[in-house]
Structure 1
Amino acid sequence: MTDPIPPEEKAATTSIGDLLSGVTQDLSTLFRQEVELAKAELTESAKKAGRGAGMFGGAGLTALFALLFLSIAAWWGLGYLLNNALSAVVVAVVYGIVALILFLRGKKELKQIDGAPKTVDSLKKIPESVKPGGHA
């Protein structure tokens, strides 16, 4: 099936306003389609992330129970060398040292966060006419 009006003739007879209107409508449709695609992809990714987070939560809880029983075994084992009260203090001090090391490392990592400087710089370069609410 062929178009009854050749493209050259159609371009010559169409006003600039109609051409701009068509381009604007096409851009609007493109943006809507891209947003819908992004929503669909992010929804699927969020579902997968939720399942993965649940698995990590289960693994963390199981590891906590393993650590608890390992701690009881260490306390009990040290109780044969020392008395039970002193062996409990030794195990608690070891955990305190580990907690302090993890805290200090975490604090150091948080101080190194610098956000998204490249994105901020890139957004500053967008012309005002393209930004939402901008004027041409």
Structure 2
Amino acid sequence: MQNTKERSLGELFSELSRETSTLVRQEVHLAKVEMSEKASEIGKHVSTLVIGGAIAYAGLLAILAAAIIALAEILPDWAAALVVGLVAAGLGYFMLQQAMSALKNVDMKPRETIESLKEDKEWIQEQTS
């Protein structure tokens, strides 16, 4: 490659254009990869939420029936159903809150891309000054 002093202004701008184009493509690729990773993490939490909800529901139905029948031996039927329903609802609420809390903690900002873009901006400013 020629010494910078020997190259024309057109050659320098042409090289800067090529390097900037490559840099932009690399940044777009980085952003895609980073957002894909974040979407995958969210998918894991959502699937845990759905599976947890389905299991809780199926188990809840069986346990509710058994518990209501058992409590109906010592309480009126309506009271047995109410007690069992409140306990089951509380447990389900706890599980849903755990999953929602995990989803809220997922950071969706593409931090690596943002940092890399800042570095690229500095590099471009150095090249053009």
Q: Distance in 2 between matches of 1:46 and 1:84?
A: 47
TM-score (norm 2): 0.53
Per the alignment, residue 7 of structure 1 pairs with 2
User: Unpaired segments of 5 or more residues in structure 2?
Assistant: 122-129
User: Unpaired segments of 5 or more residues in structure 1?
Assistant: 1-5, 131-136
Of residues 70, 76, 95, the one that matches 2:63 is 70
Per the alignment, residue 33 of structure 1 pairs with 26
Q: Does 1:86 align with 2:65?
A: no
SS at match of 1:80: coil
Q: Distance in 2 between matches of 1:53 and 1:93?
A: 25
Could you list the per-position Cα deviations for residues 3-52 of structure 1 after superposition, in whole angstroms to 9, with x for gaps in the alignment? Answer: xxx633xx232123431331232022111123124324544664675466
Q: Which letter maps to 2:12?
A: L
Count of residues paired in the alignment: 104
Shift of 1:72: 1.8
Q: Distance in 1 between matches of 2:88 and 2:44?
A: 31
Could you list the per-position Cα deviations for residues 35-73 of structure 1 after superposition, in whole angstroms to 9, with x for gaps in the alignment? Answer: 124324544664675466445423421221112211222
Q: Does 1:16 align with 2:9?
A: yes
Instruction: State how 1:111-122 maps to structure 2 within 5 Å.
Output: none
Q: Which letter maps to 2:67?
A: A
Shift of 1:89: 2.3
- Structure number with greater CO (CA < 8 Å, separation at least 6) is 2
Structure 1 vs Structure 2: percent identity of aligned residues?
Answer: 29
Q: Distance in 1 between matches of 2:21 and 2:58?
A: 55
**Structure whose alpha-carbon radius of gyration is higher:** 1
CA contact (8 A) 2:60 2:88 kept: no
Comparing 13-22 with 57-66, greater Cα deviation is found at 13-22
